[in-house]
Amino acid sequence: MRASNLLILTSKEIPSKAEFISHKLMLRSGMIRSLASGIYTWLPIGIRVLKNFKKLVRKEMDLICANEVLMSSIQPIELWKESNRYKQYGPELLRFKDRKKREFCLCPTNEEVITDLIRREILSYKHLPLILYQITTKFRDELRPRFGLIRAREFIMKDAYSFHINNSCLDNTYNIMYDAYNRILNSCCVDYRSVIAENGTIGGFCSHEFHILASSGEDKLVLSNNSKYAANNVIAEALSRNKKNYITKSSLTIIDLKRFNKFYIKTKVKMLIVSCKRNKLLALLLVNNHKLNNIKFEKHFELSKPLKLLTNEDILNVIGEHINFLGPIGLNLPIVVDKCVSLICDFTAGANQNNKVYVGINWNNDLPLPNIVDLRHVLAGEYSPDCVGKLLIKRSIEVGHIFKLGTKYSNVMNAKFMSSIGINKPFVMGCYGIGLTRIIAATIENNNDKYGIVWPEKLAPFEIVLIPINSHKTKEVIDLSEKLYTCLIKAQFDVLLDDRDIRLGHKLTEWELIGIPHRIFISERNKPKIEYNNRKNKKSIFINPDDLIHFLTSKNIFNFF
């Protein structure tokens, strides 16, 4: 393509509302423009990147024999009610009615639609296993869309669904898809991790998330510094160890808070009161500097969601004591303790009296050990649960999530197939999502410098840009540029010829910002050679024009990365 035919809408201005570097650079490089909050128009430069990524994803899906389909963005509400997710999904599901008052929604995900399709079309085990996927636009009515394409309301995803006769067959496909996702992210040249994850509203019994590490990310990953352990922060665990005894008392002691010093705080236990269903109250014990993990807690107990922690005022009304003085001894409420608290000796806690605390509390001596549950978020520096290394906490951007759904949807939607022994069985399912538009933004978070974007070659809008210098004044430069342009196209390179009559400095600034990997300068001064320049490391080399194709296709090119 010629630059004179390409809509290039770059900008020097840094958008005031853009927070993430990816959002700033996508706007400045002319990839996208904002239409409404969380909704964007893709411009030619951005579309070329998006097409390249779609091509990469389709190639990987073809390798695992997945079939591409295209489902409607509009879904009947009846399917969501049938799967029991209509209320569960909440306000992110954008609902509307047509002129006949029939209820629909804009699709955020497609488990219901694909299950409905398969239950009507696939009747025999002979068609299984089967993988179907699509690349399409999704919509989630985010309350606070922000960070550009990182948290948008409208986005493009590849979502795939697999159908199986049993869990063993599902495991095989799950592993194949897991490997495909790793290959996709490796091609993006990003620092990423796959981690054990929470299933969320999709459901199922096992899932992994794929995260691109970025200091600007909203998510947190817990990683071992010396092993392969990796998990999402909401389900991560740490190795619990017996705590050192800071106080050695022969018996339980009650003291006034005025005598309570920093020595005691080291083993102080805090108590939280939560409201369960039917207005029942439950007391939770955690180490003072530990934070309650709502996701872990909700897995174990029947709660009124969202989880409600009683305020100081609520506790005064219900129990008659301030929260700072609550403790497990003599409390007339069911108690659950975190694993770390169960291992502490001689700890301190409230005495359920104003300004009074117990010192030297020991389980099974001063009170029986109640129900023990992992209730907390882990802390950096704790030991990894696999006993190898210590835990690190890294910020990240979630870009993919794969699930073993089992029979969650097929059971509730009565989707069955005839088995080899003539018995109707529910389909065993998996689902696999990866966010194309989010990965593009996250890739920029990992690949940029002070000049602009540094695209990996497989995603770049063009592989090569030819930049003639003073071409409108020198016929030899024009002729050589046209010759190289033709040769590169014949050699199957995605090349752009900058034939615009504008200042060289403006051209260089634009291509630095847009981030095309390979730049070739043709000038009168350098003849008979041309200058090759690499966007990533700024290295240059002068080569003969006739050797250009060989240079670009040889291993020598990798010395410049």
Locate the domains of the chain by residue range.
17-71+108-221+394-445, 253-373, 462-560
Instruction: Please check whether residue 477 is in contact with residue 522, taking contact to mean a CB–CB distance below 8 angstroms.
Output: yes
d(CA 293, CA 272): 12
What is d(CA 370, CA 334) in angstroms, rounded to the nearest whole number? 8
Res. 263: pLDDT tops 50:
no
Neighbouring C-beta atoms of residue 475, cutoff 10 Å: 9
Q: Residue 92 in contact with residue 142, Cβ under 8 Å?
A: yes
pLDDT at 66: 97
Between residues 290 and 268, which one has the greater pLDDT?
290
- What is the pLDDT at residue 20? 93
User: What whole-number distance in Å separates Cα of residue 321 and Cα of residue 352?
Assistant: 7
Confidence of residue 433 (pLDDT cuts 50, 70, 90): very high
Residue the block writes with tokens 């009074």:
356
The pLDDT score that the predictor gives to residue 106 is: 95
- φ/ψ region of 189 (left if φ > 0, alpha if ψ in -120 to 50, else beta) reads left
Q: What gap in Å lies between CA 293 and CA 281, rounded to an integer?
A: 18
- CATH number of this structure's domain 17-71+108-221+394-445: 3.30.930.10
pLDDT value at residue 249: 45
Cα–Cα–Cα angle for 475, 481, 485, rounded to 5 degrees: 145
- What are the pLDDT digits (tens) for 456-502? 999 999 999 999 998 777 888 899 999 999 999 999 999 999 999 89
Identify which has the larger pLDDT, 561 or 505: 505
What 8-state DSSP symbol labels residue 467? E
**Looking at residues 314-320, what average pLDDT do you find?**
75
Tell me which of 43 and 18 has the higher pLDDT.
43
Q: What is the mean pLDDT of the chain?
A: 89
Q: How far apart are CA 358 and CA 138, in angstroms?
A: 56
519 phi and psi angles, rounded to 5 deg = -125, 135
Q: Are 150 and 211 in contact (CB under 8 A)?
A: no
Architecture of the 462-560 domain: 3-Layer(aba) Sandwich (3.40)
Cis peptide before 306 (omega within 30 of 0): yes
Confirm if 430 and 491 have CB atoms less than 8 A apart. Answer: no
CATH superfamily label, 253-373: YbaK/aminoacyl-tRNA synthetase-associated domain (3.90.960.10)
Q: Strand, helix or coil at 299?
A: helix
Say if residue 262's pLDDT is above 60: no
pLDDT tens digits, one per residue of 289-304 = 899 998 888 877 766 5
Q: Is the model's pLDDT at 49 over the cut of 80?
A: yes
Least reliable range by pLDDT among 116-125, 237-246, 345-354: 237-246
**Degrees to nearest 5, angle at CA 276 with 196 and 86:** 60
Residue bearing tokens 């290394």? 389
Residues 31, 43: contact at Cβ < 8 Å?
A: yes
Q: Residue 244's pLDDT is what?
A: 47
Q: Tell me, what's the pLDDT at 323?
A: 63
Structure tokens at 482: 């046209």
Is the pLDDT at 247 greater than 50? The verdict is no
CA distance linking residue 112 with residue 117, whole number of Å: 9
Q: Is the dihedral of CA 100, 106, 111, 117 positive or negative?
A: positive
- Starting from the edge strand earliest in sequence, which strands make up the sheet with 540-543, in order? 495-497, 464-468, 518-522, 530-534, 540-543
Close Cβ partners of 315 (under 8 Å, ≥ 6 residues apart):
273, 321, 322, 323, 326
- The predicted-structure confidence for 506-534, as pLDDT tens digits, reads as follows 999 999 999 999 999 999 888 889 999 99
SS3 content of the chain, % helix, strand, coil (to 5): 30, 30, 40
Mean pLDDT of 24-51: 96
Q: How many CB atoms lie within 10 A of CB 104?
A: 18
Is 279 a residue whose pLDDT tops 90?
A: no
**Least confident piece of the model among 76-85, 220-229, 395-404, 468-477:** 468-477
Q: Half-sphere exposure of residue 96, counting CA atoms within 13 Å on the CB side? A: 10
Provide mean pLDDT across the span 413-435. Answer: 96
Using a cut of 0.75, tell me whether the model's pTM lies above it. Answer: yes
Angle at 432 between CA 128 and CA 65, to 5 degrees: 45
Give the pair of three-digit tokens for residue 96. 């509307």
Q: What is the DSSP string of 234-286?
A: TT------PPP-S---SS-EEEEGGG--HHHHTTBEEEEEEEEGGG-EEEEEE
Residue given tokens 């979630």 in the structure block: 398
Mean pLDDT of 161-185: 97
Q: According to the model, what pLDDT value does residue 333 have?
A: 87
- 3-class SS of residue 425: strand
Confidence of residue 325 (pLDDT cuts 50, 70, 90): confident
The residues near 384 (Cβ < 8 Å, ≥ 6 apart) are: 224, 226, 227, 229, 238, 239, 390, 391
